[in-house]
Amino acid sequence: MGTAEFSAFSKTGIYEELYKSSPGGTTAEDRRETSACEDKTAVLEALCHDLQERVTRLEEGEDKRRVWAESVDTQLQELKDSQRQYAGTSLNAATNHYAGPSHYNNNPYPHYQGGDWHHQGAFPGYVVQKELQEKEEENKKLKERVKDLEARNEELLSKVMSMHKHSEDMNDPSRLSAVLQMYEKFRLHEWEKFRTTSSLTYKKGSIIIKRLFDACEEDIQQRKLNLFEVLGIPPCNETMTNSNQGIMQEIRNILRYSYYQNQSEFYHKIVMQASIDPKTTIQKEFTMQCCRIYCLLLLQDSPLKAVWNLQELKYLEHVDKKGYEYWRKPTLLWPIIKCGEQVVVKGVVWDEK
């Protein structure tokens, strides 16, 4: 949509709203209130349906995890049984070797050389014991990982629900809950792939993330000013415009739709404004995806914004999951994400040497 077309469209919509709300338009007002009630009812029904689906998915995931855990426990028990069987067999074999006179010719203890037992030859059960320990450690790590992911999902869901006074449009792929899930996945997986393939230190990585976030905020602010100019709204009246939820919601929806579409020119421009020159394909994908996700957070109906504050320790976690008492010169890698004064996503720190 061109600038002239958008201006005509937006102003026409505004004039129609003003005409409908003018004196003598009580019939239109009644229809509007009735339609609003119907819309709210439909939205609430959609929310209930979505919550039911989420509960069902969580229950299915729990069933799968339980089946998987039982399978692992069965394998561990089989390994323990095998270990005991091998241990008994190995002991009999060692006794027979020791009792046989033919083994005294050169070395009376053929499995004892240089002050150490050759466990794999003398005791095959040693191999099973080692494999058993590895399986138990892997099982423990996987269970901790599942527990951590479930806790994160519950926390994220509860925060999203508490933030919204109205339900989300589940047909909107750029809705808040969907973008927060994208952000969480991006921080856990895409960042690690970007860091390892680019051989980045935490310090250099934090500088890149901070520059990208700042460039996103500047880009959106400039686009808002351009829209205010088209609508004839003075920039100094931006605070007053926030009280008119209809206009601001329309502006955010238009911008969010544009930023959600995979328009590489948007994000290429932001990356260039951040003074970052990605070389590889992975670097380009990371920087552009970072800009896309943060712009969508900024353009929610209740905007979410990055806060680079090390003083709020209870809203920070260490990249190595260490307690506060073990931190040494902590530095922010990922910022705290807030909606107004409410913390939505904790920040991440690392120890700068």
**Whole-number Å distance between alpha carbons of 85 and 243:** 77
pLDDT of amino acid 261: 80
Tell me whether residue 350 is in a domain: no
In the structure, what pLDDT confidence band is assigned to residue 163 with cuts at 50, 70 and 90?
low
For residues 281 and 159, state if they share a domain. no
* pLDDT over 50 at 30, yes or no: yes
* pLDDT over 70 at 96, yes or no: no
In the structure, what pLDDT confidence band is assigned to residue 100 with cuts at 50, 70 and 90?
very low
The one-letter amino acid code at 318 reads H
In angstroms, the Cα distances linking 189 to 156, 183, 193, 195, 267 are 18, 10, 6, 10, 20
For residues 34 and 156, state if they share a domain. yes
Tell me whether residue 233 is in a domain: yes
For residues 85 and 193, state if they share a domain. no
Average pLDDT over residues 161-179: 74
pLDDT of amino acid 212: 97
Q: How many domains does the chain have?
A: 2
Tell me whether residue 3 is in a domain: no
**Whole-number Å distance between alpha carbons of 338 and 346:** 9
**Whole-number Å distance between alpha carbons of 31 and 29:** 5
Model pTM score: 0.54
What is the separation, in whole angstroms, between the first and last Cα of the chain?
A: 51
Average pLDDT over residues 116-134: 59
Least confident of 59-68, 210-219, 282-291, 318-327: 59-68
Tell me whether residue 185 is in a domain: yes
* pLDDT over 90 at 262, yes or no: no
For residues 31 and 44, state if they share a domain. yes
Tell me whether residue 205 is in a domain: yes
Tell me whether residue 14 is in a domain: no
pLDDT of amino acid 29: 59
For residues 229 and 209, state if they share a domain. yes
pLDDT of amino acid 32: 63
Least confident of 85-94, 269-278, 302-311: 85-94
State the DSSP string of 12-23: HHHHHHHHHTST
For residues 242 and 264, state if they share a domain. yes
For residues 190 and 275, state if they share a domain. yes
For residues 217 and 127, state if they share a domain. no
For residues 71 and 178, state if they share a domain. no
pLDDT tens readout for residues 206-243? 999 999 999 999 999 998 888 878 877 766 555 554 45
Tell me whether residue 270 is in a domain: yes
Provide the residue range defining the domain that includes 242: 173-303
Tell me whether residue 245 is in a domain: yes
For residues 157 and 177, state if they share a domain. no
For residues 124 and 215, state if they share a domain. no
For residues 57 and 125, state if they share a domain. yes
In the structure, what pLDDT confidence band is assigned to residue 156 with cuts at 50, 70 and 90?
low
